């Protein structure tokens, strides 16, 4: 047993790490769904855009400016997407908003294609994060170890924010009932913007960590992590933050263990088989609402 763990430790570490990165993306999916009942297909592309913004920012600015800049610009991007592409459709059928989200997804990818010329861009190495460290005899980048820690801190902070603060209470109210929330004096649009801001903030952090590990950004870099984070959110019960986080870690770890035992080709397949199984066996996910008014 201990031999097995020793042999697979690098994969396990990588799995926990990538799981944390998926978790940071998955929260954005699950929160937006919780409030708008919308699967925000553009979220994975916002994640990719954050990586690309970092590539361009770090080319001419020092790290201590680039990193905050990436976070701010990504948050602004999320805010603008919501105001321009989703808010005007507030009273439209849900399908229209979803199609708008798919449109935004392609728009971002094509903008990225234009700015990169279709060439993979090398993600700048963030000093300290990309240093190598040795853990129990396994050699890895520091980002691998840092990611789950950052993820857990952010998740705990987010859960406390939603549970304890007034804005968090408003978010819970709006996710339950728009009209009654308005009667309390809550401005719905502000709460929805807040949700996108939080989601994109976490996606930006996720992107910085993820691309520090994978080192190159292409216009479709957001698709696969986005899809996996989405599966994680569905697995955990879309709308549930702890569910999405658990789902993301599970997918990250299993995927890497599969790589570890030599079936690398099937590691992505696992995620999608998991999606199919979940949808057949328990469509509401592990922590999903009991109600069945989903799309």
Partner 1 sequence: MSNILEIKDLHVSYGGIKAVKGITFDVEEGSIITLIGSNGAGKSTTLNTIAGLIKPESGSIFFEGNEITGKDPNFIVSSGITLVPEGRKIFPDMTVLENLKIGAYLRKDDLSDDIEWVYSLFPRLKERSWQLGGTLSGGEQQMLAVGRALMSKPKLIMMDEPSLGLAPIVVRDIFSIIREINKQGTTILLIEQNANMALKTANHAYVLETGRIILQGSGEELLGNESVRAAYLGS
Binding region for partner 1 (CB under 8 A):
166, 169-170, 172-173, 176-177, 179-180, 182-187
Mention every residue, 6+ apart, whose C-beta is less than 8 A from residue 97: 36, 38, 86, 89
Cα-flanking dihedrals φ and ψ of residue 121, to 5°? -105, 135
* Least separation in angstroms between CB 37 and partner 1: 16
Residue 168 or 254 with smaller CB distance to partner 1: 168
Query: What is the number of alpha carbons within 13 Å of residue 93 lying toward its C-beta?
Result: 4
* Least separation in angstroms between CB 204 and partner 1: 29
* Least separation in angstroms between CB 169 and partner 1: 6
Q: Which two tokens stand for residue 22?
A: 């998926």
Residue 117 or 185 with smaller CB distance to partner 1: 185
* Least separation in angstroms between CB 148 and partner 1: 29
Cα-flanking dihedrals φ and ψ of residue 286, to 5°? -70, -35
Enumerate the H helices of the chain as residue ranges.
2-36, 43-60, 63-81, 94-116, 142-164, 166-176, 178-183, 188-214, 223-236, 241-260, 267-281
* Least separation in angstroms between CB 187 and partner 1: 5
* Least separation in angstroms between CB 245 and partner 1: 19
> What is the biggest distance separating any 2 CA atoms in the chain, rounded to whole angstroms?
61
Residue 174 or 244 with smaller CB distance to partner 1: 174
Do residues 48 and 112 make contact, with C-beta atoms less than 8 angstroms apart?
yes
Closest CA to 56 of 153, 127, 122, 150: 122
């Amino acid at each position: 047993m201990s031999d097995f763990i020793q042999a697979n430790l690098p994969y396990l570490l990588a799995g926990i790490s990538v799981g944390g990165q998926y978790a940071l993306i998955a929260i954005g999916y699950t929160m937006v769904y919780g409030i708008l009942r919308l699967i925000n297909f553009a979220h994975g592309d916002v994640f990719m855009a954050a990586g690309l913004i970092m590539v361009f920012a770090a080319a001419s600015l020092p790290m201590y400016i680039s990193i905050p800049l990436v976070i701010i610009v990504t948050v602004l991007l999320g805010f603008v997407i919501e105001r321009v592409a989703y808010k005007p459709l507030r009273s439209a059928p849900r399908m229209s908003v979803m199609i708008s989200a798919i449109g935004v997804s392609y728009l971002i990818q094509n903008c990225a294609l234009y700015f990169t010329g279709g060439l993979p861009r090398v993600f700048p190495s963030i000093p300290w994060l990309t240093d190598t460290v040795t853990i129990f005899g396994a050699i890895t980048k520091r980002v691998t170890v840092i990611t789950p820690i950052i993820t857990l801190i952010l998740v705990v902070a987010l859960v406390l924010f939603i549970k304890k603060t007034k804005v968090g209470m408003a978010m819970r109210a709006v996710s339950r009932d728009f009209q009654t929330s308005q009667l309390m004096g809550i401005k719905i649009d502000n709460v929805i913007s807040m949700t996108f801001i939080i989601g994109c903030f976490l996606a930006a952090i996720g992107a910085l960590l993820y691309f520090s590990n994978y080192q190159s950004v292409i216009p479709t870099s957001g698709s696969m992590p986005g899809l996996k984070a989405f599966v994680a959110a569905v697995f955990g019960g879309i709308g549930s933050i702890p569910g999405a986080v658990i789902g993301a870690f599970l997918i990250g770890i299993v995927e890497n263990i599969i790589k570890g035992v030599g079936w690398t080709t099937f590691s992505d397949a696992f995620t999608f088989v998991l999606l199919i199984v979940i949808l057949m066996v328990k469509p509401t996910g592990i922590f999903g609402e009991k109600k069945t008014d989903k799309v």
